[in-house]
Structure 1
Amino acid sequence: MIPEPDSAPVFLSSAALSAKIRGCLLGGALGDAAAAASGPASASSTSITADTQLALYSLDGLLEAIEWANQGVGADETACIWLAYLRWMRGRGLPLPENGPSPLPRPIDAEPLLQPAGTEGDADLDPDVLQALSTGEMGTRQRPLNTGVNTPAALVRSAPFGLLPYVETETVYKLALDAASLTHGHPSARHSAAVFASMVHGLLAPGAKLRSAATEALAQARANGVPELADRLQAVLDDDGGAGAAAAGTSGGTPTSEEALAIGLHAAQAVEDAADAAAGDGNLSAATGAAIRDAATAGGTPAAVVTGSLLGTRYGTLPETDLETLRERGVIEKLASGFVAATVAP
C-alpha cells in the first residue's frame, strides 16, 4: 500500500495541484497526438494512440487502489494497474489470456473514445506490451517480464504515477518500477520509467522547477543502482558546451527508453531555461507547443510525451489551439477531475 507521509510537508493548494495534474495528462496527450499526426499542425482533429490510452489506464488502476484505500480496504497498487491494462486490452477487442483474471469493468471502460477497436485498426499497439499481457502472468520487480526489451512503451505510460501528492519520491519511484515490470524487464526501460514519474512528482512541490525535480529523480536512480542512466541525464541538465544535446541524441532508429527520456527532458529544460532568462515573460503556451513538436521530430512519440508531460506539470500552460483539436480532451479532463477528487485534499 502507498504509505502515509512520515512528516508534514508543505503542499500546493488544491487548485494548483489540480492544474498540474490536468496539465500533465493533457500535455502528454498533446505530445502523443503531435507525433502521431500525419497531416499538418493545423489539422482540424488530432487523436491519442495506445500509448496515452495506457497512461490513462495507469491512472485508473492507481485510482482504483486509492478508492479501496479510502474505504479502508487494502489493495495492491501494481495488481490494480495490471488489471487496468487487461481491461484496456479487452476494450481494444483483444482476447484476454485464458490463464489470467477477467477484471470487473470500471467507468473508464465505457468511454468510446478510448475503445477504438474495429474503427481505427491496431497499428498503434506495441507488440512487446501485448506479448507480456497475453501471458496471463503479472510481472513483478523481482520477476519482470520481457527482460531483454528496452523500448519506451513503459516510459510513456508512467507519468500518472508521479501525480500522487502527499507521498515521498522514493515511493513513486518504486511504484513506477513495479508497474513497468509488468511488461518491460530491461533495467533501463524500468528505471527510465521510474525516473520520469519521479520528475513529474517533484514538480508537484511548491516552487519546484524542472531542474530541481530532475535532480531529485536522478538521486533516486543512483540510490537504486543505475548511476549510468543518472549520469547521462545529468549531462542533459548541465548542457555544458553542447554536452546536453549530445547526451539527448539517439543511436538511430527508434529511440531506447533512456534516449527518449533524454530527448524529452532536453526539450522541456530548454523551455524552462528560456522562461527563467526572460524572467517569466514570453508566451509559454507557444514555447511548449514548439518544444513538443521538436521532441516529436527528434525522438518520436515517447520523447514528445515526456516533453508535454513535464511542461504541462511545470506550468499548466498548454497551447489552446492544439487542445481544441485534441479529440479526447474532454475524456482526459474528466479522468483528471476524478483523480483530483480522490487524491487532493480540499
Structure 2
Amino acid sequence: MTTEKERDQAERYRSRVRGCLLGGAIGDALGAPVEFMTLAGIRAEHGAAGVREYVADHSDGTPRHGLVTDDTQMTLFTVEGLIRAGVRADRGTGFTPAPVHHAYLRWLDTQLHDAPTGRRDGLLQGQRWLYARRAPGTTCLSALEAVHERAGAGRIPFGTPAANNSKGCGGVMRSAPFGLLATPAWSQEPPVFDWAAEAAGYTHGHPTGRLASGALALLVRRLVAGDGLDEALEATLAELVTRPGHEETSAALRAARAAARDLPVCAETVERLGGGWIAEEALAIAVYAALVHPGPEEFTDALALAVTHSGDSDSTGAICGNILGALHGETALPPELAFEVEGRGTILELADDFVWEFTAGRRLHGDHGPHTRWSSRYPGS
C-alpha cells in the first residue's frame, strides 16, 4: 500500500522531470532567435532587461512563437533512448546508454528528411514538428553521419565513441535527462555521471565535452534528490575533481560560482564566463544565471540572463531551464512562456512516460510481469 509520503515523493519527482524537460525547451526557444547576435544588438532590439519573451519567427509567412532547436530535439531523443534502454535491460543485458546512440540516429533522420520515412520506429519518429532543421551542430551531424554510413555493415557498433576532439556544447546541452533517472529502478545509485559522459562521447571526443555533460547530469540528479543549488554544485565539483581531465570544467564551474558571489548581475559578467559555444562555458553560464536568480519566482529572470549575451544563447538558455526546472518542478515554469513553446504536448507526454518506465516499469513489461503495448511504443533498441 502506498503511503501519503510516498505519493508526495512520486508527485515531486514527476513535477521535476516535467519541469526539467519543459524548462529546457523554454530556455532553448527564448534564446534561439538571438543566438548569432551581439550583446549590443540584443539590447538595441529588446532593451536593457534582455530577452524576456519569445521573438516571432516569420519564415513560413505567419508569425510563430516558441520554436525550439536541435538542443530540445536531441534532449527528447535522449529521453526516448533512455526509456528504450530500460525496456532492453529487461532482456538480461543490463542497463547501458548504447540505445541512446541509436536514438541519435533517429534524430539524424529528422535532419536529413522533411517528413517521416518509415525507415525507423519509435514515438518521436512520427512527430512531424521535429523534422525542422534549425542550425544543428556540425559536430553532431558529422559524427552521427559517420555511424549511419557504417553501422549497417557492422563496422561501428552502437556505443562507440566519436573519432574527433571536439568539446562543443552539443553534448552537454542534451545531457540533463540522465540526471532524471529514478533511484528505485536500481538497487544502488546509478552512475549518471558516467552514462551522460559516455553518451556525450558518441558525438564529442574531447574529455571536457564528456565531463561537462557528466557534471550537468550529476547536478540535475542532486537537485531532483532534494539538494539546494549550492549543495548540488558542491557535490558535483567534488565528483568532478576525481576525473582525469577535469580541470577545464572544474575551473569554469568555480568561475561561475565566484562570479555569482562577487560580480555584478549583468550580461557583461555572463560574457566573462565565455560565449557558451564550448561545453564548459555553456554549463558555467547556465549555472551562473541559476545561482544569481535561484528562486522559483525568478525563473524568467534567470533565463533572460542566460540568453542575453553574444554567444550560444539557445544552449545556455536550455541548460539553465533544465537546472531550474529540476530544482523547482513544473509549477515554477513561467506560464506566459510555457503555454506556447513548440512541442509542449509531446515533451510532457515523453516526461510522463519516462517517469513510468523508471518507477513502474514492471507493470508495463518484463519477464516476470505483464506484457503491454509499451514495448511496441518503446522497442528495446
Fold in common (TM above 0.5): yes
Q: Does 1:255 align with 2:277?
A: yes
- Larger mean Cα displacement after TM superposition, 249-258 or 122-131: 249-258
Taking the TM superposition and a 5 Å limit, the aligned residue runs for 1:140-179 are 144-166=161-183, 171-179=191-199
Cα distance in 1, alignment partners of residues 8 and 346 from structure 2: 25
Alignment of 1:51 with 2:71, yes or no, is yes
Match of 2:202, as an amino acid?
Answer: L
Equivalent position of 1:7 in the other structure: none
Q: Deviations over 1:44-78 (max 9, x none)?
A: 62111111101100111011011223x34325633
CA distance in 2, matches of 1:251, 1:202: 24
List gaps (5 residues or longer) in structure 1.
1-9, 96-101, 117-121, 276-283
Q: Distance in 2 between matches of 1:242 and 1:251?
A: 12
The C-alpha deviation readout for 1:82-139, integer Å capped at 9, x for no partner, is 11011111233359xxxxxx985112211222223xxxxx342211111101112457
Taking the aligned partners of 2:220 and 2:95, their CA distance within structure 1 comes to 22
**Cα distance in 2 for residues equivalent to 1:138 and 1:217:** 31
Question: How far did 1:325 drift?
Answer: 1.8
* Aligned with residue 286 of structure 2, among 264, 271, 274: 264
Contact 2:24 2:322 in 1 (8 A): yes
Q: CA deviation at 1:255?
A: 2.8
What TM-score comes out, normalization by structure 2 length? 0.74
- 1:73 is paired with a residue whose SS is helix
| Aligned-residue offset at 1:265 | 0.1
Normalization by structure 1: what TM-score? Answer: 0.81
CA RMSD, 1 decimal: 2.9
How far apart are the structure 2 equivalents of 1:89 and 1:191?
24
Unaligned stretches of 5+ residues in structure 2: 1-5, 35-44, 47-52, 57-63, 148-155, 362-381
Which AA in structure 1 matches 2:76?
L
Residue 63 of structure 1 aligns with which residue? Answer: 83
> What code does the residue aligned with 1:163 have?
L
CA deviation vs aligned residue, 1:225-254 (integer Å, no higher than 9, x gap): 214422431342244433998986457656
After TM superposition, the structure 1 stretch with the greater mean CA deviation from structure 2, 72-81 or 59-68, is 72-81
Contact 2:113 2:131 in 1 (8 A): no
Paired residue type of 1:110: G
For the pair 1:340 / 2:355, whether they are aligned, the reply is yes
% identical equivalent positions: 29
Residues 244, 266 of structure 1: 8 Å contact kept: no
Moved more, 326-335 or 43-52: 43-52
Range with greater deviation from structure 2 (159-168 or 189-198): 159-168
Larger radius of gyration: 2
Structure 1 position 331 matched with structure 2 position 346: yes
Query: Which residue is 2:150 aligned to?
Result: none
Does 2:129 align with 1:113? yes
Say how many residue pairs are matched: 311
Matches within 5 A, 1:178-217: 178-206=198-226, 208-217=227-236
Bigger drift between 313-322 and 73-82 goes to 73-82
- How far the C-alpha of 1:324 sits from its partner, in A, is 1.2
Question: Does the C-alpha gap of structure 1 residues 11 and 22 become closer, same or farther in structure 2, counting only changes over 3 Å?
Answer: same
Letter in 2 for 1:328: G
Partner letter of residue 107 of structure 1?
Answer: L
In structure 2, what is the Cα distance between the partners aligned to 1:55 and 1:213?
A: 21
Q: Which of 209, 215, 240 is equivalent to 1:221? A: 240
CA distance in 2: counterparts of 1:264 and 1:230, whole angstroms: 14
Mapped to 2, the partners of 1:247 and 1:146 lie a distance apart of 35
Partner residue of 2:321 out of 288, 308, 316? 308
Higher deviation after alignment, 125-134 or 297-306: 297-306
Q: Does 1:87 align with 2:106?
A: yes
User: 1:45, 1:34 → 2: CA distance?
Assistant: 9
SS in 1 for 2:112: coil
C-alpha separation in 1, matches of 2:23 and 2:210 = 22
